[in-house]
Amino acid sequence: MLFQDIVFWVLSVLAIGASLGVVLVKDLFRAALLLVVVFIAVAGFFVLLSAEFLAVVQVLIYAGAIAILIIFAIMLTRDVQHGNLPNRFQIPAATLAAVLLAVLVAVAVDTKWDLLAGQAQSRAQAVQTSAVRTLESPGDLAGLERAGFATEDERTAAQEAGLADLLIGDFVLPFEVVSLLLLAAVIGALALVRPR
């Protein structure tokens, strides 16, 4: 638990400091590199929250694809020398952000979260770390039993619970819609940058 806390604080400082850097640093290129630091820190948070698959996706898509695209855009637009200028809404924007932050923190602290009890927590943990159905071997069955899956049906259900099954099971319609959205976005981007 102590180790987790240390990792959490290191990642928090890294993420928040790099986020501030993205917004405030004058050099655009450095800002983009700090954005990569934010993405990797968030991937670390995902590992802490036992969402390993999302951590991998975060590194692949955000740090790998999106950050590189943005760096390419910065280099191609040759507007780097102007740097990161503020506009005249600086004070209202800062006020709005500070007020929103105060509200969000108050909500997060004040809300009585219906947190999982110890037993339910270990059950959820057993499912969450099996994002892509890793609980196949018989040895894990004992672990599932310890985690509170008493009956055979429950253990089978916990074994079959996985992110992939949920994605193409319960959420298959949003999944298809989002793939259509990606296709439309790519075609739209091509149409936008096509030379006339």
Chain residues 117-156 in contact with another protein, contact rule CB under 8 A? 120, 123-124, 127-128, 131, 154
CB of 16 to another protein, least distance (A): 5
**In the set 77, 81, 137, 151, which binds another protein (CB under 8 A)?**
77
d(CA 99, CA 180): 37
User: Contact 122/148 with Cβ under 8 angstroms?
Assistant: yes
CB of 112 to another protein, least distance (A): 11
**Upper half-sphere CA count for residue 8 (Cβ side, 13 Å):** 8
Q: What is the largest CA-CA distance in the chain?
A: 66
Residue closer to another protein by CB (options 128, 139) is 128
Which pair of structure tokens corresponds to residue 57? Answer: 């996706």
Q: How many Cβ atoms are within 10 Å of 45's Cβ, its own excluded?
A: 19
**In the set 10, 73, 134, 136, which binds another protein (CB under 8 A)?**
73
Q: Does 172 bind another protein (CB under 8 A)?
A: no
Give pairs for 167-174: CB < 8 Å, separation 24+. Answer: none
Residue closer to another protein by CB (options 104, 146) is 104
User: Contact 50/126 with Cβ under 8 angstroms?
Assistant: no
Chain residues 82-111 in contact with another protein, contact rule CB under 8 A? 82-87, 89-90, 92-94, 96-98, 100-101, 104-105, 108-109
**In the set 66, 119, 136, 143, which binds another protein (CB under 8 A)?**
66
User: Contact 46/55 with Cβ under 8 angstroms?
Assistant: yes
**In the set 10, 12, 30, 176, which binds another protein (CB under 8 A)?**
12
End-to-end CA distance of the chain: 59
Residue closer to another protein by CB (options 29, 142) is 29
Residue closer to another protein by CB (options 100, 146) is 100
